[in-house]
Structure 1
Amino acid sequence: MKLILKSLLLSASLCSSLALANTEAHQDYLKGTAYLNQDNYKDAITWLTSAANNGSIEAQNKIGVMYAKGIGTDVNTHLAIQYFTKAAKNESSMAYYNLGKVYESQNKFTTATNWYNKAIEMNNSNAMNNLADLYLQGKGLVQNTNQAELLYVQAAELGNATSMRNLGFLYFKGIEVKQDMEKAYFWFNLAAAKAYPEADTYRDFTGEKLYKTQRISVQNDALEWLEEHSK
């Protein structure tokens, strides 16, 4: 009986310690994020590093991005990968995506593809968009426009404005698909509705190539699509 009580007390103590550590890590993460938003990179790195080392997945991803992009510090891809890998061990789709980006930037496309696919399994739309880019360009994969289009649409349906813009370009330029100004106008409308940079310019330029009746019809279709996908 005494052994059982000791075991229960030890278990409770461990749970309490873990909860406290998680709380402290989260508080450090919030402090680091606040400093980052103020462009106080020195303090941001200090607090985010503390949070990351104490198990905050959000901090691990954020400090990893800072090292990957050289935000407030020198670029350090090795450290970035270390932090992303820590977060990935906790099945963070953002970490999978971030690892994919790092390896893609190093032209290690097969490794990047593997990480993107892991993120896609968790419905990460950014990974879908980036993998679509690789299929479209044939980087590390057999060039496959149909697969790229499918992934762009999948990401767009999850609200990814970049994929909406990319679909607009795909149909506007007729990149390995039949050129279709109505489809291009449709996707540029959606990207503009998401406030994607310059999407309104692409939309208006494409719209000039359509009749007024076509523009109105496509605009109505875009509105219906937005309503359907906001439910």
Structure 2
Amino acid sequence: MGALYLSGSLGSPDFTKAREYLALGAEADLSARLAYGHLLMNGLGGEKDLVGAEQVFVRAAKLGSLEGFYLRAKLVLGRNASEAEVRAAVNDINSAAKKGFPPALSTIAELYRTGTFLEKSPQKAVEYYLKAADGGYSEALSTIAEMYLFAELGSADIEKAEVFYRQAISKGIKSANYSLAFFLYNKDLENKSGLGESYRIAKIASLAWDERCQYLLGLMYYEGLAVARDNEQAYFWLDLAASAGVFEAHHIRALAAKALTKDQINKVKSRAREWFVANHDRPHGHLFIDNSKHRYQ
């Protein structure tokens, strides 16, 4: 029952009931134990309980769960732990990485990237991120792109950054759409092909509820570089982006509004509200606000 409430198979996901049933099933079923630990760790269906989550993952690890082993170690690194506990946790994550567990590979990569708990090594970070990506943790591809773009491996390598952003997009990584579209839009204002591609990426991602791409798409319509200037379309997409917590969208929307009459604004807002109602139930997530608190004002 807990899994049904968690997945939304009985309607909308009900984390409170899922937490209640998974707590009962955790004693007998490893999958239920891990799911219950995630709910405690993320504060879903009740208050966040990191101590309880760590205990749940410890028990899962004792049953041979690599995920439980890894998550317990991650929680140790996130709390006020002793030096000995930190060393043991890093070793545990490294052990999980050596066994090919993608999240552990990505975490070791991040530790090498930042120099946290391990000696900083961008080269080793890329090596581990690639292994994580090969194991199905495709978010790592977008991170590698950032490392090349931000000159973390020497001078900025724009070509390699583009390659990895495109690979990430091909694997369905939402954040890579905005990163590549934003980069292409600002890379060369004389390159019509690049501007056109940035528009297409932003438009497709916007329709899938990527709020940062909605902001970028609105900006494109306002500036008229990648697409013909259209203040109504600009207002439409910026209004939706603003509703999802993109702060900058409010500013550009105000500028677009200066070119519109009150009647035009009301009509655009009506269309935006209709789009919101028709599309908000589609599975998606938001970066800046909780999905359950997303409302069109």
Query: After superposition, where does 1:220-231 map in structure 2 within 5 Å?
Result: 220-230=270-280, 231=282
Q: Deviations over 1:118-154 (max 9, x none)?
A: 2222222222222223322347xx6521111000112
Mapped to 2, the partners of 1:122 and 1:22 lie a distance apart of 32
SS in 2 for 1:26: helix
SS of 2:247's partner is coil
Mean Cα displacement is larger for which, 94-103 or 129-138?
129-138
Q: TM-score, normalised by structure 1?
A: 0.74
**Equivalence for 2:5:** none
- Higher RCO (Cα < 8 Å, 6 or more apart): 1
Matched, 1:108 2:157: yes
Residue 84 of structure 1 corresponds to 129
Name the TM-score, length of structure 2 as normaliser.
0.59
**Helix, strand or coil: the match of 2:203?**
helix
Residue 199 of structure 2 corresponds to residue 149 of structure 1: yes
Counterpart in 2 of 1:31?
Answer: 72
Counterpart in 2 of 1:4? none
Q: How far off its partner does 1:114 sit?
A: 2.1
**Number of corresponding residues:** 210
Determine the structure 1 residue equivalent to 2:220. Answer: 170
Structure 2 unaligned segments of length 5 or more: list them. 1-60, 283-297
**Shift in alpha-carbon separation, 1:41–1:133, aligned structure 2, 3 A:** farther
- 1:51–1:59 Cα contact (<8 Å) kept: yes
Matched, 1:211 2:275: no
Q: Cα–Cα, structure 1 residues 21 and 211, in superposed 2: closer, same or farther, change >3 Å?
A: farther
Question: Which structure 2 residues correspond to residues 4-43 of structure 1 after superposition, within 5 A?
Answer: 23-35=64-76, 37-38=78-79, 43=86
Q: Note if 1:137 corresponds to 2:186.
A: yes
| Secondary structure at 1:222 match in 2 | helix
How many Å separate the matches in 1 of 2:80 and 2:167?
32
Deviations 1:46-104 (A, max 9, x none): 25444433322123234434543566777531222122111111233212222222222
Moved more, 54-63 or 143-152: 54-63
Higher alpha-carbon deviation: 48-57 or 145-154: 48-57
Determine the C-alpha separation between the residues in 1 that align with 2:264 and 2:109.
Answer: 47
Contact 1:128/1:154 (8 A) holds in 2: no
Q: CA RMSD in A?
A: 3.2
User: Which blocks of at least 5 consecutive residues in structure 1 are unaligned?
Assistant: 1-19
In the aligned structure 2, how far is the partner of 1:83 from the partner of 1:58? 10
